[in-house]
Structure 1
């Protein structure tokens, strides 16, 4: 599974690495709502939460579905501006001015992404003019709870009111905590954007994408970007451009905006050493499948503590050497084992670093 961006005919000057304060605010709100996704930001999140005005905290809860599970495209409004070549603003105010350029239909469609009512990657019905689609949107929102229903009903009946609410909410967040955060991060993100732009000009898009993430790459023909994700989608730049937006608060999220009719955007994390060699989706699937077998789980329990030969493991588990060898082969193919030779014997051991990245519960379980 992956997201594909058709870039046939795209000129280098239409590719832009540029930070966006509004996009970074989205990641800040996400980190406040899901601190477990961002352990490195827990101290920051605790400090912000402790100082937050209770009224603003309530408003965050009122619409956190816009950034908790789905990172709403409302925070990337520049991508939807007609012409598909607009760049993010340098300030929150400038980004909000770009939000004002979206039509009511675009605003509603992006705001209701959490209901999955819209056909994200293809042209769909005009939601505001389709009673059946409006009913469907409310019905889907109902499965998410009463807050989403109230938000959806107000949005469908009075889009300008919700747009004004969203604008005021963003401005209040900037005043309450984000202006200080952006003052600290903005220079870092601008420096990363300059570095990637220089790399693009000197060495080309393939090298620039490799610096963005090992999960993103361009094919040999230079006409398609593929982003390795647990999801599918495709879009094209057409006569528009391609935006690459760095985020400091967004690790490990590598997001791709591929909404139909909008400028494609790759929102990528920076300055995270853990991102140096993330597993591909295929590797992740191999690892999860390898660990789903009870025998291989038991093998991991021993291999996490010490190195063993195939014969030793066969004796411990009361199985034949060929059976153990087959299980070890599955674990090794998944990248979970290291091997070394001692004379005529081959010793196998669990790569604890790789296992730890799969989750602390698994590691604690086999070491318990």
Structure 2
């Protein structure tokens, strides 16, 4: 499964790498609302949350549906600016129907129709859907969405003030610290694009990004657990680096919107770069009870096929078949000692699947 962006005929100069303060603020707010997603940001989320004034924390909670489990489209600007104020000015120029539809993330619940979804301000079914979804999230969110639909201009002004207050309270200092790194990353990817081509620049941005080309055209493929398709023909494509986004890789594919990809600049520093297919292979390999038992032995040290056969009372060929599955999934390392081949569990690969599983094997 993947998000596919058709870029057939799109000239290289219409593809840009550029940091965005609004996008990074959206990621920072998501990290504050879901700190468990961002273990490497634990110190920042803890200290920032502790320093928030109760009134600001209360307002952030009221509006967190825009960045907690889904990312509102307006938080990924197609034309990033130097400052948050400039990007908020761009949002002010967006018409109410577009802004409200983006803020409420209606499109992500409708399905992959490939057609623009009517705004809840003008479409009764979209309105009912928005209110139903908000009610499921709790009374405060329901009241907020009801207010947005009844008074979009006033609610938009409220959202702008909230984001400006976040900049004053914590994000201004944070942005000054990270924007240098983001700008450097964007320059590096732009140079790769110019000198070595788009495929090289995409791979450098994230192993989950790739370029496909055949007789049907050129496509960027984003390896994600969704199946969506959009196109950048005749428009442009923006790629936004993010420090606070890791481990998430976002792709804006809403019909009628310019495609935007937001990638984590430090994803290569810690695992998590395997494809979805590799993760699937690993989970399937570990689902067999005998292979689970083999892993429990192999996590403690290297063993030969014969040793494992003796331990579990099965034939060596049967052990070899199970080891082959684990090796194909990238969960084993092997080395030769004389005439013996020794197998051992790859701790780092297993740890990336989940610390609870690894700790269970070692228990």
What TM-score do the two structures reach when normalised by structure 1?
A: 0.93
The alpha carbon displacement at 1:345 in A equals: 2.1
Aligned to 1:89: 81
For 2:135, which of 138, 142, 159 is the aligned residue? 142
Equivalent in the alignment of 1:24: 24
Relative distance call for 1:206 and 1:37 in structure 2 (3 A) is: same
Structure 1 unmatched ranges of 5 or more: 80-86
2:75 corresponds in structure 1 to 75
User: Does the Cα contact within 8 Å between 2:271 and 2:352 map onto a contact in 1?
Assistant: no
Select which of 303, 313, 324 maps to 1:318: 313
> How many angstroms does 1:101 deviate by?
2.1
The 5 Å alignment of 1:154-193 reads: 154-193=147-186
**Take 1:318 and 1:152, find their aligned partners in 2: how far apart are those partners?**
62
State whether residues 278 and 329 of structure 2, in contact with CA within 8 Å, keep that contact through their aligned partners in structure 1.
yes
CA deviation string 1:301-343 (max 9, x = no partner): 1000011112211211122222222211111111001112223
Q: CA deviation at 1:219?
A: 1.2
Cα separation, 1, equivalents of 2:128 and 2:41: 39
Q: How does 1:111-130 map to 2 (within 5 A)?
A: 111-113=103-105, 116-118=108-110, 121-130=114-123
Would you say the 8 A contact 1:248–1:269 is kept in 2?
yes
Which residue is 2:146 aligned to?
Answer: 153
Say which is worse superposed, 273-282 or 35-44, in terms of deviation: 273-282
Corresponding position: 1:206 with 2:213: no
Quote the Cα distance in structure 2 between the aligned partners of 1:297 and 1:169.
50
Any idea what the Cα deviations from partners look like across 1:76-104, whole Å, max 9, x if unmatched? Answer: 2x33xxxxxxx211101000011112221
Q: Which consecutive segments of 4 or more residues in structure 1 shift more than 6 A?
A: none
Cα shift at 1:274: 3.1
Q: 1:122 to 1:27 in 2, by over 3 A?
A: same
1:131 to 102, 106, 124: 124
Runs (5+) with no aligned partner, structure 2: none
Q: Provide the rounded CA distance (Å) in 2 between the counterparts of 1:8 and 1:363.
A: 44
Alpha-carbon distance change, 329 to 289 in structure 1, aligned in 2, over 3 angstroms: same
The residue that corresponds to 2:233 in the other structure is 238
User: What's the offset of the Cα at 1:273?
Assistant: 3.6
User: How large is the Cα RMSD of the aligned pairs?
Assistant: 1.7
Question: Contact 2:106–2:126 (CA<8 Å) still a contact in 1?
Answer: no
1:301 aligns to 2:289 (yes or no): no
Deviation at 1:242, TM superposition (A): 0.4
